[in-house]
Amino acid sequence: MSDYEFVLSTGERVPVVITTRRGLRNITLRPKTRPSREIHISKPWLTPTAAALRFLEQKRRWCERIFNNAPQKVILRSGDEIEFLGRRVMLRHDPARRSNEFVVHDDVTATLIVGGGADMFERRVRDFIRAQFLIAVKQMVRGAPRELWPRRITIRDTSSRWGSCSSSGTMSFSWRLAFAPTDVMRYVVMHELAHQVHMDHSPAFWQTVSQLYGFGVERARYWLNKHGAELHKYF
């Protein structure tokens, strides 16, 4: 537990973690909104903690803006309805079950029945979504020219990058894209596939993205830039 707290104007108390680093010349400040809301301060060896806290107070408006703009975590419970992979999904908990059951009602609605103890409810929901997301990504990849298919696909929980493509042909995607509209998710997949041709963001690269995606690519890109932070509100 942190020894210090930064109290926002809303009354929320954000833990402050202060570390001392040899060789550091200046105080550095890093507000974190996920997976937990914290403020990390690194200070030079001879800098007093009080000076670090004063520096934090000087940056109050900046910190307040970051935490106010970041989505608050939503705790999922039985009876909640969430959207992922293009469907509105009702969540139900059945402790008598040992495994999950996904019941599809139509093209846009479904029910996820989660088994096991109540303490495992959110984890089981998360793991199910991650697994389904990987399946969906592979399906989207198969819709592109075969010569662009990656050698390997992995999923991660990154806070700043939605996807990446290595020179070895491995592609990684943030599973939180499962909460985005499917056309936005497809945009990220096509974006990374285009890196198989252009390992940069040159005009030729964006032309390849547009060719792979088709009509509406700018709309999908705009949605992600505007609403991307919202994809981190669960778990």
CATH of domain 81-232: 3.30.2010.10
The model's pTM: 0.78
Cα of 201 vs its chain's centroid, Å: 22
- What is the pLDDT, as a whole number, of residue 210? 97
Q: For residue 157, what are its two tokens?
A: 């929980």
For the purposes of burial, counting CB atoms within 10 Å of the CB of 188, is it exposed (0-12), middle (13-18) or buried (19 or more)? Answer: buried
Q: Report how far Cα 87 is from the mean position of its chain's Cα atoms.
A: 19
- Pairing label, strands 13-21, 38-44: parallel
Give the Cβ contact number of residue 96 at 10 Å: 6
Mean per-residue pLDDT over the chain, rounded: 94
**Res 72: pLDDT:** 78
Residues facing residue 38 across a β-bridge = 32
Our separate counts of H helices and E strands in the chain read 6, 11
Given a cut of 80, whether residue 159 has pLDDT beyond it is no
pLDDT band, residue 1 (cuts 50/70/90): low
Residues of the chain with CATH 3.30.2010.10: 81-232
The two tokens of residue 85 are 């992979």
Asked if 85 and 182 touch (Cβ cutoff 8 Å), the reply is: yes
Please give the angle made by the CA atoms of 124, 129 and 131, to the nearest 5 degrees: 95
Query: What is the SS3 assignment for 87?
Result: strand
Task: Estimate the crossing angle of helix 217-227 against helix 203-213, to 10 degrees.
Answer: 100
- How far, in Å, CA of 37 to CA of 16, rounded? 9
Tens digits of residue pLDDT in 211-221 = 999 999 999 99
Q: What is the pLDDT of residues 86-139, one digit of tens each?
A: 999 999 999 999 999 999 999 999 999 999 999 999 999 999 999 999 999 999
DSSP 74: B
